[in-house]
Amino acid sequence: MERVRLFGFMVALPDPGVRIKATVSTHNETAEHTGLVLPPASKGHISIKLDNGYNVSYPTEDLLEWEPLPINDQPKAPELNAPEADTGLPRIRLIHTGGTIASKVDYATGAVEAKFEPEEMLDAIPELASIARLDAVKIGNMFSDDIRPQHWNIISDACAQAFEDGCRGVVIAHGTDTLHITSSALSFAFAGKGTRPAGPIVMVGSQRSSDRGSSDATENLLAAVHWAAHGPLPNGEAGDAVVVVMHHTQSDGVMAVHSGLAVRKMHSSRRDAFHSVNGQPLATLSMAAEGFTVTTAPWYDEARKAASKRPVAKRPTTYEAGQRIAQFIAGPWLHAEQVEAVVSTGVQGVVFHGTGLGHLPIDDPQDDAPENALLWRILTRCVNRELPVVIVNQCIHGPVDMNVYSKGRKQQAMGLLGHGVSSTPEAMTAKLHWVLSQNMNIKEALSSNLCGEHRETLRE
């Protein structure tokens, strides 16, 4: 138990996990708080999870006094009151990989833990029972930044199994930080070779955990289940093999349905962090007391009408987990020795996040930047070794167009790939990994529009 000096006396601080009543000093007066002590938000502070779910933190010198509460004062978990499933509704499988979307506070520890049994979810969000018949599979409880290509294979296999079991659609609960990378990877797995999923595959997350009053978890999940149960079947050509459903704005009530190949997390904490790149969402779902109103984008309606009839992918293609893709950012700090050191480790592909229209620092017109000439040499050697070098756009929005400036034309003559790309950097990097895993012709595949990653509407 840590001790601090308060009013000249050494006073013990409560340990994390202890439920207390605390009196603290504020700017104007004192305040009382009752809740669970958490690990401190920063050094020299005490953090308390209040009974209403919010957290408060105070410098330890502002803690005037505290007393422990008996264990029988801990809030009890309520009885489950999950509504009965309507057998006439579509069957949807919820696949849990981690993240806050399907989590709630464990008041014994103060931690947010996954609670993903269908009964628990229906008890917490009974409106789900009026949308679909739910079952659930938990394949992990990972932070999304820990997800690797081997996990993409596990997730895609779980989706395929759900369709084999008769599910109309799948909802994947996933952490938000790399959600857009996984959505791209799954899109190529199910639709990269001219096929489509048997039903909607919907990825969903939340920016605010369910223990917070501002949580977006409930509305996002309701909208995701609605799209999986009642949304249009994917055609696989308009970037709709996998979609991402998240808040459309900071306010409640409207969720956006994004193409899994054209979406990116653009803010670290806002509820409307996800945006479509170079275009608009496929649809929006507006929430009201009577249910959801779905508004599909006109371009998506046209794309669905014009789409060819693709066969259903009975099994998804897979990623070779051993493939290594190196990534570099073009700019003043990019040097040839960095690229050479990484390439020497045996990577199978190199991706450069180019500036502007997709440029790299490879020219030395004034004979005062020999670093640029060295970079040109190492890139030429990479191409000569048949190591694919792909340019994506660090501007995020806009295409890679290496026809505009002489620099870009020089890069194309060198054999650098990526001209014409209008995908997100993450979608193209996942595509390179997928193409390498399938032993396809890299130049031909990267320039082809396989499943909506380069559709023209992205240039709006």
Query: Which secondary structure element, helix H or strand E, spans residue 175, and what is its range?
Result: none
Residues 247 and 216 sit within 8 Å (Cβ to Cβ) = yes
Q: Could you tell me if residue 315 is inside a domain?
A: no
The arithmetic mean of pLDDT across residues 199-215, rounded, is 80
* Highest mean pLDDT: which range of 21-35, 67-81, 134-148, 399-413: 399-413
Task: Report which of 232, 225, 359, 210 is spatially closest to residue 283, judged by C-alpha positions.
Answer: 232
The arithmetic mean of pLDDT across residues 200-209, rounded, is 88
User: How distant, in Å, are the alpha carbons of 39, 102, 142, 209, 211 from that of 113?
Assistant: 16, 8, 11, 10, 11
Q: Indicate whether 105 pLDDT > 60.
A: no
**Based on the domain organization, do 195 and 105 belong to the same domain?**
yes
Residue that wins the pLDDT comparison between 124 and 127: 127
Which among 252, 278, 306 is the end of a domain?
Answer: 306
Residue with tokens 């290594």: 324
Summarised one tens digit per residue, pLDDT across range 305-352 is 998 999 999 899 999 999 999 999 999 999 999 999 999 999 999 999
Residues 97 and 155 sit within 8 Å (Cβ to Cβ) = yes
**Based on the domain organization, do 125 and 69 belong to the same domain?**
no
pLDDT of residue 400: 95
What is d(CA 192, CA 275) in angstroms, rounded to the nearest whole number? 23
pTM score of the predicted model: 0.84
From the candidates 177, 363, 364, 401, which is the catalytic residue?
A: 177
From the candidates 49, 104, 115, 265, which is the catalytic residue?
A: 265
Q: How many beta carbons lie within 10 A of that of residue 366, not counting itself?
A: 6
Q: Residues of the chain with pLDDT > 90: what percent?
A: 67
pLDDT of residue 75: 53
pLDDT of residue 460: 44
What is d(CA 272, CA 206) in angstroms, rounded to the nearest whole number? 10
**Based on the domain organization, do 167 and 288 belong to the same domain?**
yes
Please give the mean pLDDT across all residues of the chain.
89
Residues 167 and 92 sit within 8 Å (Cβ to Cβ) = yes
Residue with tokens 């997928």: 434
Establish whether 176 is a catalytic residue.
Answer: yes
pLDDT of residue 209: 62
Q: Indicate whether 140 pLDDT > 80.
A: yes
* CATH of residue 277: 3.40.50.1170
Q: Indicate whether 28 pLDDT > 90.
A: no
What is d(CA 254, CA 201) in angstroms, rounded to the nearest whole number? 20
Beta-strand relationship, 201-204 and 243-247: parallel
**Based on the domain organization, do 296 and 258 belong to the same domain?**
yes
Kindly indicate the confidence band of residue 459, based on its pLDDT and cuts at 50, 70 and 90: very low
Token pair in block for residue 445: 């595949």
Q: Indicate whether 118 pLDDT > 70.
A: no
Domain range enclosing 13: 3-73
Establish whether 177 is a catalytic residue.
Answer: yes
Q: Could you tell me if residue 180 is inside a domain?
A: yes
Task: Report which of 125, 101, 134, 146 is spatially closest to residue 247, judged by C-alpha positions.
Answer: 101
pLDDT of residue 12: 77
Residue with tokens 């899109």: 187
Summarised one tens digit per residue, pLDDT across range 150-198 is 999 999 999 999 999 999 999 999 989 999 999 999 999 999 999 999 9
From the candidates 97, 100, 178, 424, which is the catalytic residue?
A: 100
Q: How many beta carbons lie within 10 A of that of residue 420, not counting itself?
A: 15
* CATH of residue 361: 3.40.50.40
Summarised one tens digit per residue, pLDDT across range 224-235 is 999 999 999 999
Which neighbouring-strand residues pair with 134? Answer: 92
Q: Which of 66-80, 240-254, 419-433 has the least mean pLDDT?
A: 66-80
Q: Could you tell me if residue 313 is inside a domain?
A: no
Summarised one tens digit per residue, pLDDT across range 29-87 is 899 999 888 888 788 899 988 877 778 999 988 888 899 987 665 555 556 677 787 89
DSSP code of residue 71: G
Q: Could you tell me if residue 317 is inside a domain?
A: no
Where do the DSSP E strands lie in 8-62?
9-12, 19-25, 30-38, 45-50, 55-59
pLDDT of residue 458: 44
**Based on the domain organization, do 252 and 106 belong to the same domain?**
yes
Q: Could you tell me if residue 318 is inside a domain?
A: no
Token pair in block for residue 130: 């009026």
Cα 453 to chain centroid distance, Å, stands at: 17
User: How distant, in Å, are the alpha carbons of 237, 363, 369 from that of 376?
Assistant: 37, 8, 12
Q: Could you tell me if residue 199 is inside a domain?
A: yes
From the candidates 60, 97, 176, 284, which is the catalytic residue?
A: 176
Q: Could you tell me if residue 312 is inside a domain?
A: no
Residue with tokens 């650098």: 416
* CATH of residue 58: 2.30.30.520
Question: 356 — alpha (psi -120 to 50), left (phi > 0) or beta?
Answer: left
Beta-strand relationship, 325-329 and 349-354: parallel
pLDDT of residue 72: 61
pLDDT of residue 212: 60
pLDDT of residue 100: 63
pLDDT of residue 331: 97
**Based on the domain organization, do 301 and 329 belong to the same domain?**
no
Establish whether 165 is a catalytic residue.
Answer: no
Count up the domains in the chain and report the number.
3
Name the amino acid, one letter, at 331.
G
**Based on the domain organization, do 95 and 68 belong to the same domain?**
no
Summarised one tens digit per residue, pLDDT across range 354-393 is 999 999 999 999 999 999 999 999 999 999 999 999 999 9
Q: What is the DSSP string of 317-361?
A: ----TT--EEEEE-STT--HHHHHHHHTT--SEEEEEEBTTTB-S
What is d(CA 437, CA 414) in angstroms, rounded to the nearest whole number? 24
pLDDT of residue 104: 60
**Based on the domain organization, do 141 and 172 belong to the same domain?**
yes
**Based on the domain organization, do 367 and 285 belong to the same domain?**
no
**Based on the domain organization, do 18 and 154 belong to the same domain?**
no
